[in-house]
Amino acid sequence: MAQPSGKILEGVFAISKPPSISSAQVLRDLQHKFAESKTFAPLLNRTRKAQEEQERHQPKRRKRSNDQIFKMGHGGTLDPLATGVLIVGIGRGSKSLSDFLACKKTYETVVLFGKSTDTYDVMGKVVAEASTEGITQKLVEDRLAQFRGKMKQIPPIYSAIKIDGMKLYEYARSGRELPRELESRDIEISDCTLLEFYGSGEHDFRWPAEQASDEDKAVARKLMPGAESTKRFMEQEAAATSPKSPPHERFREQRESNHLPPAKKAELHTHYLPIQEAQPANAPAARIRLTVSSGFYVRSFAHDLGVACSSYGTMAALVRSKQGDYTNIDPTPEGLVPALTYDDLEAGEDIWGPKIADVLTKWVDSHPAASNENRTDNRDRSDRDYRHKGFKNSRWRETGSKRTWTGPRGWEGSNRPRRRNSSSPET
């Protein structure tokens, strides 16, 4: 068993996310694994003391859920289907996560041609089909050239982008109309390379077996052509803004889920592949490497590439292989930091403890805590802690066009005579 060093370990590391679970569930798994460990015992002690101090000054403050043991967050969501590098910040490291949201990321994805789904990946329902007869390796390579550089991209309707405080996929899953059009985003693709082309019968990627309803297919076809058509459609179909939900209703399920046991909550954040067709898709596919800016959606790229090839395209697989200096490439290239894996976590703390301790020790050494890092934040104090007891009856007094401070006894306006300093005029 790993032994505690007494040093508080915090900072930024990476874990390789497995398929089918959400990024939020990865954080929950880490929270509970770390809370039981010797490696993070010093950080846990500090965290508990800070929480006790906060509760003492603000007893009515909302309590954290049983999953929020450490201060922790991630530096960019991965879809449940996707695997690979997920940046995690723990303790002070959570303050650095915004740097990773803006940095470049490298992906490897598989685009399966011939059909489109409502989610733009094989987790969804089929909404459209088209011929793939003319799709060859040369055609794909030629079309990829137009995706390099700066451009605009429309995010998929099934994404975590928020409109009026509600995520797009929540609109999609509930069947509610968007209150305004889905706007395109400025993105940049610095690397777009075809790694492998598969002809029909040369791969094992499969289509989802479920077809969307005729109504959903009609909506999807209206959204497919592009930004201008999307804008016009939203203006026409959603001119009458959908009524807003009653106060706090959209957060009700989240509040209720906070009281669920960890196993039940994990079930809500596990998304297995839907039933797929019995046979591999009789269609070509392409494995592509992408290095992209923040705000880029690989699912939208897969759809757009299919349209560029006069057909449709769907994302069949996705791996984030690099983000910042962190990677899941094995063996790890020189100068990069390897990601922790779920196999490491399952092997026990004797395996994962030294690995993460090495990464976080280097982070702590290069990010020393400020001298006031452990001081109580003024925002965590109650109002009475700000005032000296002598200021209880202090107030402002209006005198003509001037305002005069009337402080406690001993100040101007009080019953006690003022003390004269050396610069005061003689009376």
pLDDT tens track for 222-238: 656 543 333 343 334 33
Range of weakest confidence among 103-117, 219-233, 293-307: 219-233
- What is the mean predicted confidence (pLDDT) over 102-120? 94
- Residue 110 forms beta bridges with which residues? 287, 317
Is residue 177 within 8 Å of 238, Cβ to Cβ? yes
Q: Which residue range is the domain that position 277 belongs to? A: 104-239+264-323
Residues 193 and 223 in one domain: yes
Q: Which of 79, 121, 304, 344 is catalytic?
A: 79
Distance CA 213, CA 133 (A): 26
Across 49-58, 130-139, 235-244, 307-316, least confident range = 235-244
Which of 273, 306, 323 lies at the terminal end of a domain, its last residue?
323
Indicate the pTM of the whole model. Answer: 0.73
In degrees, to the nearest 5, what angle opens at C-alpha 68 toward C-alphas 79 and 261?
80
Residue 370 covered by a domain: yes
- Domains held by the chain: number: 2
Residues 6+ apart with CB under 8 A from 45: none
In 202-275 the beta strands, taken as DSSP E runs, fall at none
The rounded distance, in Å, linking the Cα atoms of 361 and 5 is: 11
Query: Could you tell me if 302 and 337 lie in one domain?
Result: no
Q: Does one domain contain both 195 and 319?
A: yes
User: Which residues, including other chains, have CB under 8 Å from residue 42's CB and lie 6 or more apart?
Assistant: 4, 5, 6, 7, 8, 9
Structure-token pair, residue 367: 């990010």
Least confident of 207-216, 252-261, 281-290: 252-261
Q: E strands, 91-184, where?
A: 105-113, 115-117, 126-129, 149-153, 162-163, 166-167
Residue 426 resides in a domain: no
CATH number at 115 reads: 3.30.2350.10
Query: How far from 45 is each of 12, 30, 197, 258, CA to CA, in Å?
Result: 19, 17, 53, 23
Whether 401 maps to a domain, the answer reads no
**pLDDT value at residue 68:** 83
Peptide bond into 331 cis (omega under 30): yes
Residue 358 falls in the annotated catalytic set: no
